[in-house]
Structure 1
Amino acid sequence: MKALTGLLLLVFGHAVSSVIHSLHYFYTASSGLSTFPEFVAVGMLDEVQIGYYDSNSKRIVMRQDWMEQFLREHPGELERNTGRALGAQHSLKAEIVNLKRAFNQTGGTHLYQNMYGCEWDDEDGTTDGYEQFGYDGEDYLVLDLKTLTWVAPVRQAFTTKLRWDGDRAELQYLKYYYTKQCVDSLKKLLAYGKSTLQRTERPRVSLLQRSPSSPVVCHATGFYPDRVVVFWRRDGQELHEQVDPGEVLPNHDGTFQVSVDLNLKAVPQEDWGSGLTIPIIIGFLVPLLAAASAVVGVFVYQKRNGETLLQH
C-alpha cells in the first residue's frame, strides 16, 4: 500500500484593483397575506442589512451598531427615513389596487415590489443607479438611466410608462439622485461601517461524504466578504464537469458559507486502482482588500477497499 499523499488546501488572497460598493433598498407591499406585514422595507449596504421597517410597527429598526452611531450624529435622519418609508407604504399599497384592476384580478395573494439603489467603484469613481418595479414576481417597470426612460415589459405597464416618461423634471431628479445623492449616502455610510464591512475572515473548510458512491462535498463557512470562488482541481486541472457549485449563503453571525459538490464520475474509473491516492485539490479564490495567502489545511482523499477516507 502506497503512503497517503497530502495535498494542500490553499486560500489565495489577491489584492483587488477595485471594489464596487452598493446601497440597495427593497420595498414589498402585499395583499392576501394574513401572516405577513402589508409593507416591508429593507436597506442593504454592500449586501449587509442595515435597516428594517414594516407596516405593523411603523418604525425603523437599525440592524448594525454603527448605524445607531450614524443616527446619533445625524439628527433628523431617522425621522426623514421613517416618513419616506411610510409614504412608500401608502403609495405601493394603493398601486396594488390599481394593478389588480389592470390584470383583471379580484382576489388571491399579490406582491408589488420596488428595488432601487446605486453602486460606486472605489478606484475609478464610476457610479451606476437602478430602479425597478415588479408585480407578482415579474418585472413591471424598469428605469433606463442612460436614456432617462422607463421600460415596460408587460402591456399593463405601458400607460404608466408613458405618463412617467412625460415627467421630465422627475426623471432629471432621478438622474441626480442615483448619480450624486445616493452615492454620497453610500460613501457616508461606508465610513461608519468600514470596520465591519471591510473586514476579512478566512473560511473553515470540511470535506463531507454520506456514502462511498455519493458526491464529495467541500463545505466552507465563516468567511467574509462573500466574494469567494470555490473550485475543484485534479492533476493541476480545474474540474467543471460533474461539479455542482452551490449558492453563497449568509450565516447568523454575518459571515457566509458555500458548498461545492463533486460527483465521483468526474474521476475516471481506471484511476481508482488499489491503494492509489487520487490527487484532488480544493481551491479558493478570495479577492480580499489586502493581499494575504495562507495554508489552511492538508487533506487526503483516498478510496480503498470500498471505503472513502477523508483526513486533515
Structure 2
Amino acid sequence: MNLFLFVLLVMQMHSVTPVIHTLQYFETASSQVPNFPEVVIVGYVDGVEISYYDSNIRKTESKQDWMNKITAEDPKYWQRVTDINVRNELITKHNLEVLKKLFNQTGGVHIVQWMSGCEWNDETDEVKGWHQQGYDGEDFISLDMKTWTYTAAKPQAFPDKLKWDQNIFILDHQKYYYTEHCPSYLKKYVKNGKKVLMRTELPEVFLLQKTPSSPVTCMATGFYPDLADLFWRKDGEQIFEDVEHGELLPNHDGTFQMSVELKVEVTAEVEGKYECVFRLSGVKEDLVTKLERRSILSNASHEGEKDTFSWRSQYDAARK
C-alpha cells in the first residue's frame, strides 16, 4: 500500500462496538513548497487530530480539550513533546537533504514523510505498531515488527537497512516504543477522550438528483465514527451493479459524510423496490430510505410548483 494514499477504510460492521484504537503520527518535511512550513508533525487518535507542530511556530499545540487532561498527572507533558518535535524537525530536515543527494537531486519540490504509530485492542489487549518512511510520494523504507528488521522499498534505502538492522540500540528502542511506550500513551488518550472517541452520531440521509435522467445519489452526512457503510438494496437484497460509491469525507465539525450513486430511471414501477441503507458500527438498527420520487431533492421542477429549486438549496434548507 502506498504510504501517501490516505485510504479511509469503510468497514461493514454491524452491532459490534469498535475495540481497535490507533495512535498515529505523520511527520512531513518539504523543500521549496510555497507558503508551507518546512516541517509539520501531526498526531491522531482514532483518526481524530490531537496535536499539531510545525517549524514556523516551533510549539506543539493541543487540538482537543480532553488531551489537556494529561497535564494533571504530567504538567510538563506538552513542553516535553515540543522538545521532541524540535529535535525531530532537525533530524527530518537533515534526512531530506540526504535523500536529495541519494537521488541526485538539487532543486525542485521534494517531500519526505514518516508515518509511525500503534494500535491497541481494548478487548484482547493486543498491540501492534508501524514505522514507515516515504519520499516524493513513494515508499522508501519500513520496519517489519514481526522480524524487527527493515525493508527497503528502493535501492537507495539498502545502506540504511543494513546499518539499522545491525544497530541493537536502535532496534531495542523501537521495540520498547512500539510495544510499550506508544500503547501506554494511547490507552491514556483513549481514557481521557472516551466520551468523544466512543460516541455514536447518526446521520441525516438525503436522496439527490440533478435531473430526472441523472443517477440518484444517496448522501449520509453528520455521522460518527467513520466505521460505517452505505449501500443500495433492491427487493431486500444488496446490489452492486449500476452502483458507484463516493469517498468517505470529513465534515468541519468532526463528523463524516459519504454517498453512493444508483443508475436507475425513477418510475412508478421501481418506487419502493429500491432503498438506500446506512449502517453504523455499534448501532443495531439500519437507517433505511426508500427510493420514492417525492423524497428526491432535484434540480427539476416539482409537479404543480411554479418555481424551480436546486437540490443544493433544498438540501441546505432540510439541514436547518
Residue matched to 1:44 = 44
8 Å CA contact retained: 1:17, 1:123: no
Residue matched to 1:109 = 109
Q: CA shift at 1:280, angstroms? A: 0.4
Deviations 1:193-252 (A, max 9, x none): 001111110110000000111111001011000111101001122111221111211111
Distance 1:53 1:273 in 2: 55
Q: Which runs of 5+ in 1 are unaligned?
A: 1-11
Q: CA shift at 1:293, angstroms? A: 2.7
Alignment of 1:49-60 (within 5 A): 49-60=49-60
Residue matched to 2:273 = 279
Paired residue for 1:293, among 274, 281, 285? 285
Letter in 2 for 1:113: Q
Distance 1:43 1:274 in 2: 51
1:101/1:228 CA distance change after superposition, 3 Å: same
Greater fraction of residues in strand:
1
Residue matched to 2:25 = 25
CA RMSD between the two structures: 2.6
Higher relative contact order, structure no. (Cα contacts within 8 Å, ≥ 6 residues apart)? 1
Indicate the SS of the match to 1:293: coil
8 Å CA contact retained: 1:142, 1:152: yes
Distance 2:106 2:57 in 1: 28
Indicate the SS of the match to 2:271: coil
Distance 1:40 1:18 in 2: 30
1:89/1:273 CA distance change after superposition, 3 Å: closer
Residue matched to 1:178 = 178
TM value normalised by structure 2: 0.84
Residue matched to 2:230 = 230
Q: Which moved more, 1:277-286 or 1:32-41?
A: 277-286
1:296/1:73 CA distance change after superposition, 3 Å: farther
8 Å CA contact retained: 2:278, 2:286: no
Distance 1:200 1:151 in 2: 39
Distance 1:273 1:187 in 2: 53
Q: CA shift at 1:301, angstroms? A: 4.2
Alignment of 1:70-149 (within 5 A): 70-149=70-149
1:308/1:209 CA distance change after superposition, 3 Å: farther
Distance 1:276 1:230 in 2: 20
Distance 1:245 1:132 in 2: 29
Residue matched to 2:217 = 217
8 Å CA contact retained: 1:29, 1:38: yes
Distance 1:240 1:207 in 2: 18
Identity of aligned residues (%): 45
1:295/1:157 CA distance change after superposition, 3 Å: closer
8 Å CA contact retained: 2:37, 2:54: yes
Residue matched to 2:194 = 194
Deviations 1:52-74 (A, max 9, x none): 00000001111111112323442
Q: Which runs of 5+ in 2 are unaligned?
A: 1-11, 304-310, 312-317
Q: Which moved more, 1:23-32 or 1:160-169?
A: 160-169
8 Å CA contact retained: 1:13, 1:293: no
Q: CA shift at 1:302, angstroms? A: 7.7
Residue matched to 1:205 = 205
Distance 2:40 2:144 in 1: 25
Distance 2:29 2:40 in 1: 7
8 Å CA contact retained: 1:278, 1:301: no
8 Å CA contact retained: 1:278, 1:302: no
Distance 1:276 1:149 in 2: 58
Distance 1:111 1:281 in 2: 45
Distance 2:241 2:287 in 1: 26
Distance 1:82 1:44 in 2: 16
Q: CA shift at 1:275, angstroms? A: 5.5
Indicate the SS of the match to 1:174: helix
TM value normalised by structure 1: 0.86
Residue matched to 1:162 = 162
Q: CA shift at 1:79, angstroms? A: 1.3
Q: CA shift at 1:32, angstroms? A: 0.8
8 Å CA contact retained: 2:277, 2:288: no
8 Å CA contact retained: 1:18, 1:123: no
